[in-house]
């Protein structure tokens, strides 16, 4: 038997034809002399009918069929009688009257029912991921992922990009995330690193003159997992020569627009909105703001600088700030307990406390009201446009903490107050990131993006005198509060690169040791270049409308970075370790 159609490729217009379908038994409904089987393949399901009156032998065989058996069915496609039409089914107007049945394989009863929106425990589903992947929602996600990758390849190809593979066994680089290491058998005591991204290689391809490079590539970072983060993930990676910031953003806006049109049928006109990093922090307290709703941060430092409330006054005096959010209408909605819970959220982000005011018709309910003058209160209400029923939330501290606490509080409030339209996509660029940030632990400046990112021309002069003030030619693409991509224009001058290494405290010797090959390459005519990379997993996650990255990865890892299906990582044979010149140290003997 040869398959003629996928289940839902059959249409009412095919009625009367002899067809062959193959797939898994979704459900069997045995009415005695009449058996209905819904057969499932990756396209969907269709009903097959076995009638004991027309073919007792066939009916007998069908009665042996159970859930998830693999069947091949030949039959005539028939229109159902009007009263037997199932409007909830894509193929609900038709069914296959079976004339031949082959049980291609039996199946044990699966540990969980294969259905859309499964309520089975995720651990169980991950253990049997191959069964989980039979479910239509995960199949849909992976097929969407395929479409996104296909559109990326088509789009960049049409725009002159060339896909080139870069090594997976490469050299460990300092800075950034922790590397996954691979021991070398041939070089005792030496290790390869899996790439955190193909950064250096793609820049070298620019030196080679490839002009426009792209690659859909696995990257690895040995850091803790999150709902939107896996240790191995896929980037749509690209690099271009002879471009500035605008060129890179424009070409990639074209990709994202096309992606939305072709994958989701959504119009997403370019150019996208742009916010500088400074503005994003000021207004949303985040460098990846969710701009689907308001509740913007408001600076009230000047209003309370001389206040009798010491917490506010001190924060401003010490160079910090006092900022607030007007949670519109929340004053009359939230209980004292809920407001206190918001305080706990703020504390997670190192805020010492959360001051609040509930605006009422005839005044104010607030633990801090007694420390403030009438004028101060009025000016605050005025600036926050506060109306009766509103809840005003204040954090006073160093800017960094104020932004972090209020930024996260804003997200919490947006969700709690139902202000987020989950069917909407909001996209923007965040630009002009700080080039460097100070690492308190290491007591030195470190690159915020990476050490090949170019500073903005007008800020180069501050590299020595005031490194924190230097902005970079870096940009992030932000969608619904997620960073889905980012990149930068790179440094292409040896002198500037050397200066950058100096600023982050990398000696000439260290630089030569770690990037010697790159510095050497840059001596031979490096074109100005820049690029970016999209997180394919996150992009797919957002387009699929889920907030769990495991839903868009065929075989994902759990929080402890293990695979519940294969049980990786696992111990290996002693012989393997010996060949690799590796001795393991147990935790006990370490102590």
Partner RNA sequence: GGCCCGGUAGUUCAGUUGGUUAGAACGCUAGCCUGUCACGCUAGAGGCCGAGGGUUCGAGUCCCUUCCGGGUCGCCA
Task: Please report whether residue 571 would count as binding RNA according to CB under 7 A.
Answer: no
Map tokens 């409007």 to a residue: 87
Nearest approach in angstroms of CB 523 to RNA is 22
User: With binding defined as CB under 7 A, does residue 292 bind RNA?
Assistant: no
Please, which residue, 351 or 357, has the CB nearer to RNA?
A: 351
49 binds RNA (CB under 7 A): yes
Distance CA 415, CA 410 (A): 9
First vs last C-alpha separation in the chain: 65
Residues 390-419 that bind RNA (CB under 7 A): 404, 408
What is the signed CA dihedral for 121, 126, 128, 131, rounded to 10 degrees? 80
Torsion of CA 116, 122, 126, 127, to 10 degrees: -110
**Site for RNA (CB under 7 A): which residue of 423, 495, 560, 591?**
560
384 vs 411, beta carbon nearer RNA = 411
Query: Cα 514 vs. chain centroid, distance in angstroms?
Result: 30
Strands ordered across the beta sheet of 474-479: 162-163, 212-220, 232-241, 529-535, 482-489, 474-479, 427-431, 273-276
Query: What whole-number distance in Å separates Cα of residue 17 and Cα of residue 141?
Result: 32
Closer to RNA at the Cβ: 228 or 390?
228
**Cis amide leading into 569 (omega within 30):** yes
124 scored as a contact of RNA (CB under 7 A): yes
CB of 164 to RNA, least distance (A): 17
Q: Write out the binding residues for RNA, residues 351-390 only, by CB under 7 A.
A: none
Does 573 help bind RNA (rule: CB under 7 A)? no
| Sole window of 13-21, 240-248, 443-451, 538-546 interacting with RNA (rule: CB under 7 A) | 443-451
Integer-rounded Cα radius of gyration of the chain: 30
Among residues 61, 153, 171, 448, which is the contact residue for RNA, using CB under 7 A? Answer: 448
Among residues 11, 17, 66, 469, which is the contact residue for RNA, using CB under 7 A?
66
Check residue 72 and report its DSSP letter.
Answer: E
Site mask for RNA (CB under 7 A), range 127-166, x = bound: ----------------------------------------
Which of 149, 446, 496, 521 is in the footprint of RNA by CB under 7 A? 446
Looking at the Cβ atoms of 331 and 434, the one nearer to RNA is 434
State the nearest-atom distance from the C-beta of 200 to RNA, in Å.
8
Q: Which is nearer to RNA, 53 or 509 (CB)?
A: 53
Figure out which of the listed residues 6, 8, 36, 261 binds RNA, where binding follows CB under 7 A. 36
Residue (of 385, 378, 341) closest to 363 by Cα position: 378
The nearest distance, CB 2 to RNA, in angstroms, is: 26
CA 426 to mean position of chain CA atoms: 15
Q: Which of residues 68-107 bind RNA (CB under 7 A)?
A: 80-81, 83-86, 88-89, 92, 95
Pick between residue 31 and residue 186 the one whose CB is nearest to RNA.
31
Rounded Cα gap, residues 557 and 546, in angstroms: 17
> Which residue among 250, 348, 493, 566 contacts RNA (CB under 7 A)?
348
Closest contact distance (angstroms) between CB of 161 and RNA is 19
Does position 480 bind RNA by CB under 7 A?
no
- In angstroms, rounded to a whole number, what is the distance separating the alpha carbons of residues 73 and 100? 6
Give the bridge partners for 543, in sequence order: none
Choices 120-128, 185-193, 253-261, 458-466 (CB under 7 A): range interacting with RNA: 120-128
The two three-digit tokens of residue 355, written as one number? 């001051």
**What's the token pair of residue 352?**
């010492």
Among 205, 451, 491, 541, binds RNA (CB under 7 A): 451
CA angle 312, 314, 319 (to 5 degrees): 105
* Closer residue to RNA (CB): 332 or 559: 559
Q: Which is nearer to RNA, 123 or 186 (CB)?
A: 123
Residue 34's H or E segment, with its range, is: strand 34-41
574 C-beta neighbours (distance < 10 Å), count: 9
Q: Is there a cis peptide before residue 298, judged by omega within 30 degrees of 0? A: no
Nearer Cβ to RNA (147/514):
514
The answer to whether the peptide bond before residue 7 is cis (omega within 30 degrees of 0) is no
Entry field: residues in the chain = 591
Phi/psi for 117 (5° steps) reads 50, 50
Q: Does 506 bind RNA (CB under 7 A)?
A: no
Distance CA 260, CA 276 (A): 24
State in angstroms the smallest separation of the CB of 449 from RNA.
4
Q: Could you tell me the smallest distance in angstroms from the CB atom of residue 147 to RNA? A: 25
The three-state secondary structure class of 256 is: helix
- Number of residues forming the site for RNA (CB under 7 A): 67
3-class secondary-structure state, position 470:
coil
Return d(Cα 143, Cα 243) in angstroms, integer: 34
Positions in the binding site for RNA (CB under 7 A):
27, 29-34, 36, 38, 47, 49, 51-53, 66-67, 80-81, 83-86, 88-89, 92, 95, 109, 111-113, 119-124, 175-178, 196-197, 199, 221, 223-229, 348-349, 404, 408, 446-451, 548, 558-560, 562, 564
């Amino acid at each position: 038997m040869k398959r003629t159609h996928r289940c839902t490729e059959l249409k009412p217009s095919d009625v009367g034809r002899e067809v062959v379908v193959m797939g898994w038994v979704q459900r069997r409904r045995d009415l005695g002399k009449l058996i209905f089987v819904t057969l499932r393949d990756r396209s969907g399901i269709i009903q097959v009918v076995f009638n004991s009156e027309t073919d007792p032998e066939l009916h007998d065989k069908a009665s042996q069929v159970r859930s998830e058996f693999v069947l091949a069915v030949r039959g005539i496609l028939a229109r159902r009688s009007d009263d037997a039409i199932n409007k909830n089914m894509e193929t609900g107007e038709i069914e296959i009257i079976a004339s031949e049945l082959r049980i291609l394989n039996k199946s044990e009863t699966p540990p969980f029912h294969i259905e859309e929106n499964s309520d089975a425990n995720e651990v169980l589903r991950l253990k049997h991921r191959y069964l989980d992947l039979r479910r239509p929602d995960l199949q849909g996600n992976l097929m969407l992922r395929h479409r996104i990758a296909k559109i990326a390849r088509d789009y960049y190809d049409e725009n002159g990009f060339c896909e080139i593979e870069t090594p997976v066994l490469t050299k460990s680089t300092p800075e950034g995330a922790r590397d996954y290491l691979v021991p070398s058998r041939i070089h005792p005591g030496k290790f390869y690193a899996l790439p955190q991204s193909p950064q250096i290689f793609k820049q070298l391809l620019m030196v080679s003159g490839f002009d426009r490079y792209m690659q859909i590539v696995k990257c690895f970072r040995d850091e803790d997992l999150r709902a939107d983060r896996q240790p191995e993930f896929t980037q749509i990676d690209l690099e271009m020569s002879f471009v500035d910031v605008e060129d890179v953003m424009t070409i990639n806006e074209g990709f994202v627009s096309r992606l939305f049109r072709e994958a989701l049928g959504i119009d997403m006109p370019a150019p996208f909105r742009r916010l500088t990093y400074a503005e994003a922090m000021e207004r949303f307290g985040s460098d990846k703001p969710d701009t689907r709703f308001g509740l913007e941060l408001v600076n009230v430092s000047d209003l309370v600088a001389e206040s009798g409330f010491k917490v506010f006054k001190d924060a401003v005096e010490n160079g910090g700030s006092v900022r607030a959010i007007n949670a519109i209408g929340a004053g009359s909605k939230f209980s004292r307990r809920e407001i206190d819970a918001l305080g706990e959220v703020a504390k997670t982000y190192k805020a010492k406390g959360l001051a609040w005011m509930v605006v009422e018709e005839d005044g104010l309910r607030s633990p801090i009201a007694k420390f403030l003058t009438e004028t101060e209160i009025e000016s605050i209400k005025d600036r926050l446009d506060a109306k009766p029923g509103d809840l005003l939330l204040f954090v006073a501290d160093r800017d960094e903490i104020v932004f972090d606490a209020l930024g996260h509080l804003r997200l919490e409030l947006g969700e709690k107050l139902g202000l987020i339209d989950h069917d909407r996509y909001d996209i923007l660029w965040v630009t002009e990131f700080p080039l460097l940030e100070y690492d308190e632990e290491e007591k030195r400046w470190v690159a915020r993006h990476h050490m090949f990112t170019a500073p903005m021309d007008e800020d180069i002069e501050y590299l020595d005198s005031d490194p924190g003030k230097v902005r970079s030619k870096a940009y992030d693409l932000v969608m619904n509060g997620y960073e889905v991509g980012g990149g930068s224009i790179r440094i292409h001058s040896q002198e500037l690169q050397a200066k950058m290494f100096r600023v982050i405290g990398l000696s000439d010797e260290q630089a030569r040791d770690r990037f010697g090959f790159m510095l050497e390459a840059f001596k031979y005519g490096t074109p100005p270049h820049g690029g970016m990379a999209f997180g394919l997993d996150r992009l797919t996650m957002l387009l699929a409308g889920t907030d769990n990255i495991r839903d868009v990865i065929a075989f994902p890892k759990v929080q402890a970075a293990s695979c519940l299906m294969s049980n990786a990582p696992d111990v290996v044979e002693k012989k393997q370790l010996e060949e690799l010149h590796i001795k393991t140290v147990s935790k006990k003997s370490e102590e």
